[in-house]
């Protein structure tokens, strides 16, 4: 899964848990599925470019995408959150954003965000040139 991370939530190569808080107009956390449909036949960098190409929000030069492994994130939050929060990722693709997914959680709180931030595997520039 990929989460769009504004530059305001990154410092020193580390993504803050604040990147995993609900944005305005967001009822559930939005992600994009890197291995959606034919995307799976591409490299990770190409998958990010494909997602960025159809991403509905404005991407700034210093923004990034952060990748998480679904299974690892689900297990980590369930095991480490004091309320044993069970999260899940649900496909929610639309014509304008086909790889879109939502994260379901009983009640999101700041600690969920901080736990998800510790699950970040890789970061990718949100705006990539030279990959088509």
Partner 1 sequence: MSNNDWSRSYTVSVPFQVSYDSSSIIIKYPETEESVSTWAERSTGAQHQQVGIWFEHPLDLNPYEITNIAIVNENLDSNLSNSPSKMFSRISWPIDNPSLQTLNAVGGYITLPTTNLQKAIFRRVAELTDLAIEDGINMSPESFLDLWSFTSTNPEMRPASIFALDNGNFRAEWTNAQGELVGLEFCGQKLVKFVIFAYALALGKMTRIAGLQAIGQIHGHLQAAFADHLLTN
User: Using the rule CB under 8 A, is 81 a contact of partner 1?
Assistant: yes
Q: Which CA distances in Å does 6 have to 10, 14, 56, 59, 83? A: 7, 12, 14, 8, 28
End-to-end CA distance of the chain: 20
What are the phi and psi torsion angles at 92 (to 5°)? -145, 40
Residue 9 or 89: the one with the smaller Cβ distance to partner 1 is 9
Stretch that binds partner 1, among 11-19, 29-37, 85-93, 98-106 (CB under 8 A): 11-19
107 touches partner 1 (CB under 8 A): no
Instruction: Find the shortest distance in angstroms from Cβ 38 to partner 1.
Output: 33
Q: Which residues between 54 and 73 bind partner 1 (CB under 8 A)? A: 60, 62
Give the pairing of strands 29-32 and 14-15. unpaired
Question: Does the protein bind partner 1 through residue 82 (CB under 8 A)?
Answer: yes
């Amino acid at each position: 899964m990929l989460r769009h991370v504004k530059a305001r939530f990154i410092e020193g190569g580390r993504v803050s848990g604040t990147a995993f808080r609900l944005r305005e107009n967001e009822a559930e956390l939005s992600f994009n599925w890197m291995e959606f449909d034919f995307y799976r036949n591409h490299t990770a960098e190409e998958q990010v470019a494909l997602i960025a190409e159809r991403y509905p929000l404005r991407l700034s030069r210093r923004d990034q995408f952060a990748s998480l492994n679904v299974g690892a994130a689900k297990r980590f939050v369930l095991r480490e959150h004091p309320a044993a929060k069970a999260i899940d990722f649900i496909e929610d693709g639309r014509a304008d954003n086909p790889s879109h997914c939502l994260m379901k959680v009983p009640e999101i709180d700041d600690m969920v965000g901080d736990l998800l931030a510790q699950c970040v595997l890789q970061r990718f520039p949100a705006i990539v040139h030279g990959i088509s």
